[in-house]
Homo-oligomer: A and B are copies of this chain.
Amino acid sequence: MKKREVRTLSEVAELARVSESTASRALAGSPLVAEKTRKHVLQIAKLCNYVVNQNARNLRLKQTNVIEVVSPVWQNRRKTIADPFFLELLGAIGDNLNAKGYDLLLSTQPPWNDDWQRNPLMTGKADGIILIGQGASDPMIHELANDYPQVVVWGADIPYQPYCVVGSDNVEGGRLATEHLISVGRQSIAFLGDIKMPEIGHRHEGYRKALAEAGRPYDPDLTFSVPFDVGAVHNSALELVNSGKDFDAVFATSDVIAMSLISELIASGRSVPEDVAVVGFDNVSSSALYNPGLTTIAQDMALGGKLLVEKVLARAAGEEQGSTLMPVKLIVRSSCGVNL
* Bound form: Cα–Cα A238–B31 in Å: 57
Interface membership of A53, Cβ < 8 A: yes
Chain B proximity mask over A276-320: 1 for CB below 8 Å, otherwise 0: 000000001110111111000000000000000000000000000
Q: A122-B51, A290-B263 are in contact. Are A105 and B108 (CB under 8 A)?
A: no
Beyond A104-B107, A143-B1, is A91–B74 a contact (Cβ under 8 Å)? yes
- Decide if A182 is an interface residue (CB 8 Å cutoff): no
A96 CA to B104 CA, complexed, in Å:
18
User: Do B74 and A64 touch (CB < 8 A)?
Assistant: no
Contacts of A108 in B (CB 8 A): 91, 94-95, 98
Say yes or no: is A197 at the interface (Cβ < 8 Å to chain B).
no
A15 interface residue (CB < 8 Å to B): no
A236-264: contact bitstring with B at CB < 8 Å (1 yes, 0 no)? 00000000000000000000100110110
**Given the known A-B contacts A56-B59, A56-B124, A123-B51, are A291 and B290 also in contact in the complex, defined by CB atoms under 8 Å?**
yes
Closest to A123 in B: B54
List residues of chain B with CB within 8 A of the CB of A116.
Answer: 4, 49, 51
What B residues does A54 contact at CB under 8 A?
123-125
User: Which one of B104, B123, B259 contacts A53 once the chains associate, using CB atoms below 8 Å?
Assistant: B123
CB of A53 within 8 A of CB of B105, answer no
| Stretch with Cβ within 8 A of B (4 or more), from A76-84, A154-162, A169-177 | A76-84
User: Which residues of A95-137 are within 8 A (CB) of B?
Assistant: 95, 98, 103-109, 116-117, 119, 121-125
CB neighbours of A94 from chain B (8 A): 74, 106, 108
- In A42-86, the 8 Å CB interface with B consists of 49, 51-56, 58-59, 64, 66, 69, 74, 77, 81-82, 84, 86
- Chain B residues with CB under 8 A of A285: 81-82, 230
A148 to B52, CA, bound (A): 18
Tell whether A183 is near chain B: CB-to-CB under 8 Å.
no
Is A34 on the interface with B (CB-CB < 8 A)? no
Distance (Å) between the CB of A234 and the closest chain B CB?
Answer: 9
A214: CB under 8 A from chain B? no
Residue A179, interface by CB 8 Å: no
How distant is the Cα of A259 from the Cα of B294 in the complex, in angstroms? Answer: 13
- Does A6 count as interface, using CB distance less than 8 angstroms? yes
A55-B59, A290-B291 known; 17 other A-B pairs, CB under 8 Å? A51-B122, A52-B123, A53-B123, A53-B124, A55-B58, A56-B124, A74-B94, A84-B286, A98-B107, A103-B105, A104-B105, A256-B286, A260-B289, A263-B289, A263-B291, A290-B290, A291-B291
The contact sample of 9 A-B pairs, CB cut-off 8 A, is A53-B124, A54-B125, A55-B64, A74-B91, A81-B286, A87-B87, A104-B107, A263-B293, A291-B292
